[in-house]
């Protein structure tokens, strides 16, 4: 049994704390925010995409790169930065785009998603936490015949991995989700994944933290900002340093701070391989007849999900400088795109919830799960990009295995 600090209380950090506490460790959960699940976990697409672990750097994205660079792609935007780390990240991103490299990265992510799925099944048996979890299935909507035909190669590959994906026409998809009859976007074909699920990531973070405090005696230090790590003469971690309180000694620590990890790159140079990819979401009260199956509009890069009594659309991928903040124009683009296909989003209401967050992304889209190269006793669980919710528990299991030796 060890005294372990987990830095970061988003889905990855809270999941890591859960697996470590279940293994018998004394865990302290630390976050700069006042409650768990307030940053990238607060308004994500809610989809647990067990069969969709596709790396962002891909041949398809590269074909669209000229339009992205010229600002003509509504879903992607790049803010150019005079920063060597930005240039290095971009070059590594391009190096990961060829088909063979893309599939290798995607296969690794799918393996991690499978581990997450197994861990979540165990969590649902062990705990009674509530986070609007349900097996919803997912429909990927393709707007043109060429992209739908091209999807077959990936679907066939995934089916050989025992992932259930099905190629459907629009009429069959409308039988599965009748709300598609009102969908005003082009649908040339649909990939259906019946085994995908969804849940409220922020509610998961809050409920699981409460469970850990009650059942495992976990300590929380919320509203405390970590500024570094103190080491002994042998280079081993001995304490965590804070901006607003004295150091605290720990046997080891896990950095799971998501978009906050690069702020600690002076101690953790691996975090320089992460760039923020900003996304947006809009959550409204669930209307009668809203889709119950999760939807992803491939052309518009929009994800729709019914979460309890709410309905959320999430999307956009803006490669920006850290801390760029909420862009009203980009949020309006999200709302306009959603309204063009589902008219329920045309009218703004007083109960709307808007969100924007930075998804910490590596050039390969694979998270960094490894011991720190610089500090013994420090472990990294960072860089999950847009799949943090899907990969959180599998990543937690891998970190726990590393700590176990």
Domain that holds residue 270: 3-404
Q: For 226-308, where are the E strands, in sequence order?
A: 226-231, 237-242, 248-249, 252-255, 275-285, 294-297, 302-307
Residue 38 CB: number of other CB atoms within 10 A?
19
Strand partners, 285: 310
CA dihedral 80, 82, 84, 85 (to 10 degrees): -50
* Tokens at 164, concatenated: 């259930």
Of 33, 25, 29, 38, nearest to 248 by C-alpha is: 29
Exposed e or buried b per residue across 104-131, where buried means at least 16 C-beta atoms within 10 angstroms of its C-beta: ebbebbbebbbbbbebbeebeeeeebeb
Domain count, the chain: 1
What is d(CA 223, CA 101) in angstroms, rounded to the nearest whole number? 40
What is d(CA 334, CA 397) in angstroms, rounded to the nearest whole number? 35
Pairing of strands 26-31, 219-222: parallel
Residue 239 CB: number of other CB atoms within 10 A?
17
What is the model's pLDDT at position 347? 61
**How many CA within 13 A on the CB side of residue 104?**
8
What is d(CA 317, CA 332) in angstroms, rounded to the nearest whole number? 14
What is d(CA 190, CA 305) in angstroms, rounded to the nearest whole number? 17
* Tokens at 289, concatenated: 């007849």
DSSP string, 315-333: EEEEE--TT----HHHHHH
What is the model's pLDDT at position 346? 62
Assign residue 119 the CATH number of its domain.
3.50.50.60
The segments of the chain whose pLDDT lies below 70 read: 345-347
What is the model's pLDDT at position 1? 84
What is d(CA 296, CA 304) in angstroms, rounded to the nearest whole number? 6
Pairing of strands 252-255, 3-7: parallel
pTM equals 0.97
What is the model's pLDDT at position 344? 76
All residues at 6 or more sequence positions from 215 whose CB lies less than 8 Å from its CB, including other chains: none
Place of tokens 């891909």: 58
What is d(CA 405, CA 385) in angstroms, rounded to the nearest whole number? 27
pLDDT digits (tens, 9 = 90+) for 380-398: 999 999 999 999 999 999 9
């Amino acid at each position: 049994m060890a005294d372990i600090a987990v830095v970061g209380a988003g889905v990855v950090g809270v999941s890591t704390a859960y697996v470590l506490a279940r293994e018998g460790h004394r865990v302290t959960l630390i976050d700069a925010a006042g409650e768990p699940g307030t940053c990238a976990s607060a308004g994500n697409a809610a989809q647990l995409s067990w069969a969709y672990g596709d790396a962002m750097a891909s041949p398809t994205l590269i074909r669209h790169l000229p339009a992205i660079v010229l600002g003509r792609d509504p879903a992607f935007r790049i803010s150019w930065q005079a920063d060597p780390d930005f240039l290095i990240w971009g070059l590594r991103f391009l190096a990961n785009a060829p088909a063979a490299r893309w599939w290798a990265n995607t296969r690794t992510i799918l393996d991690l998603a499978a581990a997450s799925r197994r861990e979540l099944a165990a969590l649902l048996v062990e705990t009674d936490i509530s986070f609007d979890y349900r097996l919803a299935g997912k429909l990927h909507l393709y707007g043109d015949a060429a992209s739908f035909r091209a999807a077959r190669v990936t679907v066939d590959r995934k089916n050989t991995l025992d992932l259930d994906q099905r190629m459907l026409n629009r009429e069959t998809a409308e039988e599965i989700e009748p709300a598609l009859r009102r969908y005003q976007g082009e649908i040339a074909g649909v990939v259906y994944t019946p085994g995908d699920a969804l849940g409220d990531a922020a509610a998961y973070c809050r409920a699981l933290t409460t469970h850990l405090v009650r059942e495992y005696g976990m300590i929380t230090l919320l509203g405390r900002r970590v500024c570094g790590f103190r080491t002994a003469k042998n280079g081993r971690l001995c304490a965590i340093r804070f901006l607003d309180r004295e150091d605290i000694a720990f046997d080891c620590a896990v950095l799971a701070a998501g978009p906050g990890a690069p702020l600690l790159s002076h101690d953790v140079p691996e975090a320089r391989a992460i760039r923020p990819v900003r996304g947006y979401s809009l959550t409204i009260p669930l209307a009668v007849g809203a889709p119950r199956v999760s939807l992803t509009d491939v052309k518009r890069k929009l994800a729709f999900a019914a979460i309890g009594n709410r309905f959320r659309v999430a999307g956009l991928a803006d490669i920006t400088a850290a801390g760029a903040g909420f862009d009203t124009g980009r949020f309006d683009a999200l709302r306009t795109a959603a309204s063009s296909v589902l008219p329920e989003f045309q009218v703004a209401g007083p109960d709307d919830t808007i969100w924007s967050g930075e998804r910490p992304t590596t050039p390969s889209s694979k998270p960094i799960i490894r011991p720190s190269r610089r500090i013994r006793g420090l472990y990294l669980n960072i860089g999950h990009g847009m799949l943090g919710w899907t990969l959180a528990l599998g990543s937690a299991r891998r970190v726990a295995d590393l700590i176990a030796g």
